[in-house]
Amino acid sequence: MNMTMTAPEVSTTALSVRGLVKSYGGRPVLTGVDFDVRYGEIVALLGANGSGKSTALQCIMGLADPDDGGIRLGGADLGPLRGRELAAARQQAAMVFQKVHLVPRLSAVDNVCAGALHRMPGWRSMLPQLYPRQIREEAMACLDRTGMAGRALEQVGRLSGGQQQRVAIARSLCQRATVVLADEPVSALDPHAAEQVMSLLADLAHTEHLAVATVLHQPDLARRYADRAVGLLEGQVDFDVAPADLTGEHLEPLYLPDRVAA
């Protein structure tokens, strides 16, 4: 694949979040979150349910409107952008969901092509049968990159959870995203499939120089696959450390029962 040629140099900041604030119906969820993700690294976001991890990702992707704070994606400040310019800037980031969000009745390759809808001509984007051949071939290469090329023509609904997640990751590659945000990508998977998906995400960060941020509920996976672990507690960053330094002292406050209840 040629995305390594277009991706910026390793260690420049791909995603930068500053002072992100968001509340739902008067209940504060994020109270000033700062973190960075650089090209070529995978960052694990840890935290209890309700600590704001997913909300932070949603604010970046435009699925939620932040009340305050700044987001920079690939060097572009999203704040002043509107309409098409904002959409174009956001296309650098792709989202991978816990529930994969593929269309079960369509084939894997059709689902992957859908990541490229934003650069397809109008009428040819209306039916999978009309998708341009270059895009179908690019989608095949993306499936190959995630180890799913052999199942390209199968209905996604018939694939296992881990396979579906790898198709979803291929879709984000076909989007030509340089930043991948994964919201609990392995929470619904068995341990073996979870290992496969995490090692794929880490590999994409390290060899394709993508910036990957992933919400995780298993500190163990963060230790083994992430380059950095960011802990969120009550809507703020509690720690930002190398996984090797991640200790019980970091993790225990995150998952205290009274915090989880809130």
Partner 1 sequence: MTTAETRTPRRLPVPSKPRRGLRTSRLVLAAVVIVVLHLLAFQGTGFRPVVLVEGWQGMAGFLAEAFPPDLDWETVLRPGLEATVVTLWIGLLGTTMSIPTALLLAVLGSRTTGAHPLVYQAARSVLSFFRAVPDIVFALIFVTAVGLGPFAGVLALICHNTGVMGKLWAESMEETDQGPQQALRTAGANRMQQAANATLPMVVPQFVGLLLYRFDVNVRSSLVLGLVGAGGIGLLINQSIKSFQFDAMLTHIIVVLVLIVVVDQVSALVRKQLSGPNS
Residues within window 173-202 making contact with partner 1, judged by CB under 8 A: 175
CA-CA-CA-CA dihedral for 238, 208, 71, 94, to nearest 10: -100
Q: Can residue 30 be called a binding residue for partner 1 (CB under 8 A)?
A: no
Q: Can residue 62 be called a binding residue for partner 1 (CB under 8 A)?
A: yes
Q: Can residue 171 be called a binding residue for partner 1 (CB under 8 A)?
A: yes
Residues within window 95-154 making contact with partner 1, judged by CB under 8 A: 95, 97, 99-106, 114-115, 117-118, 120, 125-128
Task: Tell me how far, at minimum, the Cβ of 123 lies from partner 1, in Å.
Answer: 10
Determine the residue type at 18: R
How many CB atoms are located within 10 Å of the residue 95 CB?
22
Q: E strands along 11-74, which residues?
A: 13-24, 27-38, 42-46, 68-73
Question: Judged by CB, which is closer to partner 1: 130, or 260?
Answer: 130
Q: What CA–CA distance (Å, rounded) separates 121 from 14?
A: 28
Dihedral sign (CA 85, 88, 94, 98): positive
Contact present, 189 and 216 (Cβ < 8 Å): no
Question: Judged by CB, which is closer to partner 1: 5, or 127?
Answer: 127
Q: Can residue 63 be called a binding residue for partner 1 (CB under 8 A)?
A: yes
Which residues would be at the binding site for partner 1 (CB under 8 A)? 61-63, 87-88, 90-91, 93-95, 97, 99-106, 114-115, 117-118, 120, 125-128, 155, 157, 168, 171-172, 175
